[in-house]
Amino acid sequence: MCTKHCKIWLIFVIFNCHASDSNKSLKQIHVIFRHGARAPTETYPNDPYINYKWPGGWGHLTTEGKRQMYSLGQNLRAYYSPFLSPYYWPQEVNFTSSYSDRCLMSAELVAAGMYPPKDEQVWNDNLLWQPVPIHYLPRSLDNSIAMKRACKKYDRAFAEVANSRKVADMNSQNRILFEYLSQCTGMPVTDIGIVESLYNTLEIEQQNNLALPSWINSTLMASMKELAARNLALYSETEFMKKMKAGPLLKTIVDLMRKAAVDAKVPLINIYSGHDLTIVQVMRALNLTDTIKPKYGSSLHFEIYSDRSIKVLYKEYWEGLPQEQQLEFCANPCLLDDFESSLSEIIPQDWENECNG
């Protein structure tokens, strides 16, 4: 059986073999990842674990979530080892996070896994860790990772979607399920948004070896997961909604890749610690998926090479190898100019005015 260190070594070998297939070299990377496993953020009246004492508190990383994020950092170090310096250099690396504590902690853990101190950077022989700054904006100002900054036109667009015939039909088709869940949970379940919240709570309890109530089974959980993914997709249902939510982060990535292509002094490694909705918004803006329920530690990678070609990769878990994604709007190889041009309708030029003007 391959041990954890064996797996990391294999990732290193695979990346080196892949990199040696071409004369081009990696110039810059961007990695957007979902935080690690967390405790529930909410419960329901008939929840047998309504008074359960979650270590760390409601909504915060669990012990397993912390392990996942540290492991993700180690795997990123192994996968990109030919590109990463063995030492942490502030001018080469930038970590940006959502305001949420679970995202900030996840970023810290990923940084710890990627940049354990070596040689003169070891400041405490009993603690092979070094501080790495994590940048973030308050919830009310963040329009790129948490995507919570006020946007009046987006709110109106979302209200139109929520009140659309499509959503009404979806709720109608699942009326019997909603009635069953309402009876079992002791609260009104009237739309797929409530189903998503309920599914998240049940999934987390199951992942923490808490036996689910007798009224739930694997078939019902699968149905709820599908509706949860559909609910996440509603937040980027139109092209305008994609532009207002995923657009700012894609603009940041494109701008930094353009600077890296001409050897400007910009960070080579850019890591973004976000939520499941962060992943969903960006993947849907790139037309990579219709519906998806990202797992903890899933990550979306953007790479730019010396020939100005772009690669987009996705990894479902904190472990394993990212898989290259085919961009339907850009030829393979996808060059930076074509990539940016193809996203012109998704990347805002004046986000504030387009949102609230």
pLDDT tens string 314-336: 999 999 999 999 999 999 999 99
3-state SS class at 30: strand
pLDDT band for position 20 (50/70/90)?
very low
Are the C-beta atoms of residues 66 and 318 closer than 8 Å to each other? no
Cα separation, 117 vs 123, whole angstroms: 8
Specify the pLDDT at position 357: 86
Q: What's the CA dihedral at 219, 288, 146, 270 to 10 degrees?
A: 130
* DSSP string across 87-156: S--TTTEEEEE-SSHHHHHHHHHHHHHH----GGG---TT-------EEE--TTT-SSSS--S--HHHHH
| The residue type at 23 | N
The alpha carbon of residue 348 and the mean position of all alpha carbons in its chain are separated, in whole angstroms, by 21
pLDDT band for position 229 (50/70/90)?
very high
Cα separation, 276 vs 229, whole angstroms: 10
- Nearest C-alpha neighbor of 234 from the set 224, 218, 223, 245: 245
Q: What percent of the chain has pLDDT over 70?
A: 94
Nearest-5° Cα angle at 159, 143 to 352: 30
Specify the pLDDT at position 166: 95
Specify the pLDDT at position 129: 96
Is pLDDT above 90 for 186? yes
Cα separation, 24 vs 308, whole angstroms: 9
The three state secondary structure string of 198-261 is HHHHHHHHHHCCCCCCCCCCHHHHHHHHHHHHHHHHHHHCCHHHHHHHCHHHHHHHHHHHHHHH
Domains in the chain, start-ordered, CATH in brackets?
4-149+244-356 (3.40.50.1240), 152-236 (no CATH)
Tokens 């805002």 map to which residue?
348
Taking the whole predicted model, whether its pTM rises above 0.75 is answered as yes
Peptide bond into 138 cis (omega under 30): no
Average pLDDT over residues 206-229: 97
Cα separation, 140 vs 343, whole angstroms: 26
Tokens 């479902």 map to which residue?
316
φ, ψ of residue 260 in degrees (nearest 5): -65, -35
Nearest-5° Cα angle at 232, 227 to 238: 115
Cα separation, 232 vs 319, whole angstroms: 24
Are the C-beta atoms of residues 121 and 88 closer than 8 Å to each other? yes
- Nearest C-alpha neighbor of 277 from the set 133, 158, 134, 182: 158
Mean pLDDT of the chain: 94
E strand or H helix that includes residue 13: helix 4-19
Specify the pLDDT at position 6: 52
Query: Which residues is 93 bridged to in the sheet?
Result: 269
